Amino acid sequence: MKTETTIQGLTASLAPARNTKKMIGFVPTMGNLHEGHLTLVRAAKKICDIVVVSIFVNPIQFGAGEDFDSYPRTLEQDSRLLADVGCDIIFAPSVEQMYGSQPRLTNISVGQITDDLCGKSRPGHFDGVAVVVTKLFNIVQPDYAFFGQKDYQQLAVIRQFVQDLNIPLEVIGVPIVRAEDGLALSSRNGYLSAEQREIAPTIYRLLKQAEQSLQEGKALSEVLANISAQLTQAGFVVDYVEARQPNLQSVEQFDRNLVLFVAAKLGSTRLIDNLEVDFKT
Ligand code: AMP
């Protein structure tokens, strides 16, 4: 496994694979890797000849007052984990390497599907994601790129601009990896105190309960309000509890598949989760 910190170095490392038409898989991350990230790498290994994992904490997707400075940077530990799952190349550029010293005048803004959910509470976040992921796609030029359904809205945004801008690669979505108690794995779980970590799985428990209630025919508005009330009671500050169609359009009738979305804070830690609810009998 090689680690490259410059675009030039990465391009040189990938040249033999590109010249021999090997399938290149790409997994973008912000590091502090856990089993969720490693599952993406394993999925990439299955269908690609060469797997590149980027580790880059992207400043432009963090808002003022968010955790850019304190975001965990654990490159040595990440490298060991990635070597174990057969990653071929780590791309770990500096901010300077990615953004240079000249001002950036170009933005990438995906409309409509970024208007609410996390887009509403984190203005500019998805523009920052779209810019860095497009830059990384242009640098790595992969055949396949792998993203987790944990960040469901992000995955939808990426699929959208890849389609709109004819970016020549295939986006693969990978199901959420959870801890045994149901908490969706996240680098931000490390911010939780022991007491908060005990409370955190309430989100998934309530999503599963809601799924059952909906399948039994309970009214959607009632089910969403109940999740919200129970989260508040458990000590969360709720950002949103929403239901959408899988394409993120609003739900007109809910005898079809829908996705439940939760974002809530425990102390200063913002947690997100989602659950696809299947109405097939
Ligand atoms: P991050 O490092 O948080 O930017 O995440 C990098 C990639 O890993 C994104 O595509 C995430 O959706 C994905 N990811 C993070 N946590 C999980 C998880 N628990 N299950 C599946 N994918 C995940």
Domains in the chain (CATH in brackets) are 2-174 (3.40.50.620), 187-273 (3.30.1300.10)
Ligand 1: list residues with CB < 6 Å. 29-30, 36-37, 39-40, 147-148, 150-151, 174, 176-177, 184-187
Q: Are 227 and 250 within 8 A, CB to CB?
A: no
Q: State which ligand 1 atom lies nearest to the alpha carbon of 37.
A: 8
pLDDT score for 221: 96
Single pTM value for the model = 0.97
Answer yes or no: is pLDDT of 281 > 60: no
Look at the block and give the residue holding tokens 């909906």.
214
pLDDT tier, 201 (very low <50, low <70, confident <90, very high otherwise): very high
Indicate if 37 belongs to the active site: yes
Contacts of residue 72, defined as CB under 8 A and 6 or more positions apart, other chains included, come to 31, 32, 187, 190
For the residues 168-183, what does the mean pLDDT come to? 98
Answer yes or no: is pLDDT of 67 > 80: yes
Determine if residue 151 is labeled as part of a ligand binding site: yes
Q: State which ligand 1 atom lies nearest to the alpha carbon of 34.
A: 16
pLDDT tier, 279 (very low <50, low <70, confident <90, very high otherwise): confident
For the residues 9-37, what does the mean pLDDT come to? 98
For the residues 206-223, what does the mean pLDDT come to? 96
pLDDT tier, 39 (very low <50, low <70, confident <90, very high otherwise): very high
Partners of 271 in the β-ladder? 264
If phi over 0 gives left and psi between -120 and 50 gives alpha, with beta otherwise, what is residue 229? alpha
